Chains A and B, each alone.
Chain A
Amino acid sequence: MNHGQHSGEAKHEDDAALTEFLASLMDYTPTIPDDLVEHYLAKSGFQCPDVRLIRLVAVATQKFVADVASDALQHCKARPAPVVKDKKQQKDKRLVLTMEDLSKALREYGVNVKHPEYFADSPSTGMDPATRDE
């Protein structure tokens, strides 16, 4: 009996939390605009007139991007910094999103990014001029 009461209370609390969360989505403005999310949803055959559910998808996508970016940032920070003698340059250290960090972060999410290591406009680029003539 007690167990049933407890589970009923817990369910009631969960319901209240869900309602509160859905209500908070009405006031929350995701970074990805509703119209843009709607466009992609409609493109995939998704129909829903409730703006809260569209925002839920927008929030999920925003969280995914933020998680990937923060993981890439951790990879960037964990890399040993190059030795810079100039103090000014040490102060002005800017965080740059590189493909290397991004691919490492995405690998944790099951996305394997392959990118060419080096681009050359012709096979002879970078070769010795003497050998190029031959």
Chain B
Amino acid sequence: MKRRRKARVNSEAPPDDQSAAEFSFTLTKVAVSQICLSVGYTSTDTSSTLNTLTLITTKFLQSIAELAASFSNSANRTEANLFDIVNGLQDAALATSDCFPGGSTLHSTESHCLIRSAVLRNLSDFVASAFEIPFAKPLPRLEISGSYGGDSTRAARSRDEMKSIPAWLPPFPEDSSLYRERYAEERSGHLWEKSDSVIGHGTFVEETSGFESCRGRSGGRLPMRRASVRFKVERDWSNGGGGKSDTRLERWRDKFEVKKRIGEEEEYIDCADIDAGEWNM
């Protein structure tokens, strides 16, 4: 019985990705239910109805994003702009409905301005006419958010987790913090018409300067004064006196001790203090 209960608990414990997906899905469900409430509905017959509408909403959102991203990528850009989004919206509108007003003059040479796009005009009318329905609760913003092109689960890694990398190497630039700082600055006053693609200035300077400052702290060189490392020698005579000698090197954190054992008595000899990479016998 206990085993069965334990197995059930293990199966219910979701990994981080799953819980994040569930969380975002639940938030979307709240927003969708608010929209349904504003239309005039008071309830749903089953929970699967609302789940279906929420799932389709997320798919719609992601399809717009994928279309806009593909448009921007085909124009050799990584950041999408208004043109990409409008093109994506038009494609999504063509996919989800049979037609929309102005669809026939979509790619005509005369319609240079984006506002002539019927989809955008409809959205403009919607914003002007529809009441604002703010989300039910303000969302808490996490300290480390990897939503801007990164993965939050892989963003933060301490040096303890990466044991394969020697301690004397300079620290890695913190990608997440770099992105976050850059993102916060850009978000506060960044307009797409003033972005790199339009003006041609590189905002990567900030990123590289951050990396340089990270490197500049240690400069990629070993520090002059470092913690001392000690060794102890141990010889194992336990196999009948004059048998085989066993010298073992044991590493205890930064301290190496080589122990020398003769017969049954243990004798520790501090044989070396290493400072700045030299043996001091």
By secondary structure, the B interface counts as helix
The stretch among A47-55, A81-89, A124-132 that forms the contact with chain B is A47-55
**Cα(A56)–Cα(B96), bound, Å:** 18
Residues of B within 8 A of A33 (CB): 27, 31, 135, 139
Q: Point out the residues of chain B lying under 8 angstroms from A56, CB to CB.
A: 82, 85, 123
User: Are B62 and A40 touching (Cβ within 8 A)?
Assistant: yes
Contact B115 A57 (CB under 8 A): no
In the assembled complex, how far is the CB of residue B70 from the closest CB belonging to chain A, in whole angstroms?
A: 9
Does any Cβ of A come within 8 Å of B208's Cβ?
no
A110 touches B96 (CB 8 A): yes
> Is there contact, CB below 8 Å, between A47 and B141?
no
B residues 30-54 in Cβ contact with A at 8 Å:
31-32, 34-36, 38-46, 48-50, 52-53
B contact residues around A61 at 8 Å (CB): 57, 60-61, 64
A44→B183 CA distance, assembly (Å)? 18
Q: How far is the CA of A41 from the CA of B24 in the complex (A)?
A: 12
Q: Are B123 and A63 in contact (CB under 8 A)?
A: yes
B199 to chain A, nearest CB (A): 14
Residues B41 and A59 in contact, CB atoms below 8 Å apart: no
Q: Is B69 an interface residue (CB 8 A)?
A: yes
How far is the CB of B152 from the nearest CB of chain A, in Å?
10
A64/B57 in contact, CB under 8 A: yes
Known: A25-B127, A97-B36, A99-B52. Is A42-B147 also a contact (CB below 8 A)? Answer: yes
Contact between B135 and A17 (Cβ–Cβ < 8 Å)?
no
Selected contact of A59 from candidates B82, B114, B127, CB within 8 Å = B127
Minimal beta-carbon separation of B179 from chain A (angstroms): 10
Q: Mark B132-157, 1 if CB is under 8 A from A, else 0.
A: 11110001010001011100000000
Inter-chain contacts of B123 with A (CB < 8 A): 21, 56, 59-60, 63
Q: In the complex, how many angstroms separate the beta carbon of B39 from the nearest chain A beta carbon?
A: 4
B56 at the interface (CB under 8 A from A): yes
Closest to A10 in B: B113
Binding site for B on A (CB under 8 A): 7, 11, 14-15, 17-18, 21-22, 24-25, 28-29, 31-33, 35-53, 56-57, 59-66, 68-70, 73, 94-99, 102, 106, 108-111, 113, 115
List 17 interface pairs A-B (beta carbons < 8 Å), by A numbering: A14-B115, A29-B134, A31-B31, A33-B139, A37-B61, A40-B65, A47-B148, A48-B80, A51-B187, A60-B119, A65-B36, A68-B53, A95-B40, A96-B45, A98-B44, A109-B96, A110-B95
